[in-house]
Amino acid sequence: MRSALLLVAIAIIVAGGSFGIRRAILAEQEQRGRREHGEKIAQQIEQIRQSQAFQEQRRQQSAQLALLVDSLARNPQDTSLLLPIGTLMLQTGDTLGAIATYRRYVDSVNATNVVALTDYAFLLYLSGNRQQGRALTARALRLAPRYQIALYNMAVMEYDQNNIGSAISWMERCRSVDSVSPLGQLAQRALEELRKMQRTSPH
Q: What is the pTM of this model?
A: 0.68
Give mean pLDDT, residues 194-200.
86
- Tell whether 57 is covered by a domain: yes
User: Dihedrals φ, ψ of 145, to 5°?
Assistant: -60, -20
Q: Above 60 in pLDDT, residue 4?
A: no
Domains of the chain: total: 2
Rg from Cα positions in the chain: 23
Q: Above 80 in pLDDT, residue 38?
A: no
Instruction: Count the Cβ atoms, other than its own, within 10 Å of residue 97.
Output: 17
Q: What is the pLDDT of residue 22?
A: 43
- Tell whether 124 is covered by a domain: no
Is 141 found in the same domain as 96?
no
Residue-range definition of the domain harbouring residue 92: 52-110
Is 140 found in the same domain as 102?
no
Residue 32, H or E segment: helix 2-50
- Tell whether 41 is covered by a domain: no
- Tell whether 177 is covered by a domain: yes
Give mean pLDDT, residues 23-51.
59
- Tell whether 62 is covered by a domain: yes
- Tell whether 186 is covered by a domain: yes
Is 104 found in the same domain as 64?
yes
